[in-house]
Amino acid sequence: MSNYPRYDVEAVKAAVSVPDALERYGDLSKRRGNRCPCPIHGGKDNNLAFRDDSFHCFVCNCGGDVITLVEKIFSLSFPDAVRKLAEDFGVAPGVDPEAVRRRQLAAEARKRRVEREKDDFRRLTTFYHQVQDLPPTPLRDRYVGTLAATIDDIIQRGDASSYPVDEIISTMRQGLQWERQSRTSVHSAQLSTQPFHERTS
């Protein structure tokens, strides 16, 4: 381990993302969002979920960072996995404080993105339950189906970034409001055409 100082490890992590390694050592041709076949156990289905800096397979239960991924795929020790990544992706040996700084900035940006996606998912599921609680109407029923499919797709992908959650919620709220107002107007018009004794009976 003394031949692999921390800065070398950080430089490799900063230079090579998990998707980079999966593209080189695995098969991303069948990827669906942030899911792909697992190259560790040779899976055929999209059972491996990944982000820029991490991965997890729901079949073999392996997970970790890009170095762990290479360790598992090629049955390498930690130092050998670092060396393989550095050589395969042209990462120069030696201390690279700038790479560490970039990685820290990237990690902070990823953390903000993940928190934003979690918040989007929470708001979407909350809105879904609110729509479910409304009286059944054709539009309400259609929205329930659309929201359920959207939430299921986000869970399968492990990624909510491709959905404009604010726009979805705003558009659906406007649609439900319009439908409610239209139904109220129709009901009021029907009442106004009835004889008074029928309205009060």
The dihedral over CA atoms of 51, 56, 62, 68, expressed in degrees to the nearest 10, equals 10
Asked if 169 and 125 sit in the same domain, the reply is yes
Percent of the chain with pLDDT over 70: 84
Asked if 123 and 177 sit in the same domain, the reply is yes
The residue range of the domain holding 13 is: 6-95
Q: What is the mean pLDDT of residues 102-111?
A: 78
Residue 160: inside a domain: yes
Cα 3 from Cα 14, distance rounded (Å)? 19
CATH number, domain at 49?
Answer: 3.90.580.10
Residue 186's pLDDT is what?
A: 52
Asked if 157 and 132 sit in the same domain, the reply is yes
Q: Which long-range contacts (CB under 8 A, 24 or more apart) does 2-5 make?
A: 3/79, 4/78, 4/79, 4/82, 4/83, 5/95
127, two tokens: 């809105």
Q: Which long-range contacts (CB under 8 A, 24 or more apart) does 35-41 make?
A: 35/156, 35/157, 35/158, 38/62, 39/73, 40/69, 40/72, 40/73
Is the pLDDT reported for residue 32 higher than 70? yes
Per-residue model confidence as pLDDT tens digits over 137-181: 999 999 999 999 999 888 877 777 778 999 999 999 999 999 888
Residue 106: inside a domain: no
Which of 95, 130, 148 terminates a domain? The answer is 95
Is the pLDDT reported for residue 10 higher than 70? yes
Which of 45, 66, 95 terminates a domain? The answer is 95
Is the pLDDT reported for residue 37 higher than 90? yes
Cα 79 from Cα 82, distance rounded (Å)? 5
Structural domain tally of the chain? 2
In angstroms, the first-to-last Cα distance of the chain is 89
Residue 89: inside a domain: yes
Residue 191's pLDDT is what?
A: 47
Asked if 10 and 86 sit in the same domain, the reply is yes
- The rounded mean pLDDT for the chain is 83
Per-residue model confidence as pLDDT tens digits over 107-146: 788 788 888 888 999 999 999 999 999 999 999 999 999 9
Asked if 17 and 59 sit in the same domain, the reply is yes
Cα 48 from Cα 29, distance rounded (Å)? 13
Residue 155's pLDDT is what?
A: 82
Q: What is the mean pLDDT of residues 94-102?
A: 66
Q: Which residues contact 159 (CB under 8 A, 6 or more apart)?
A: 33, 34, 117
User: What's this model's pTM, rounded to 2 decimal places?
Assistant: 0.54
Percent of the chain with pLDDT over 90: 47
Residue 171's pLDDT is what?
A: 94
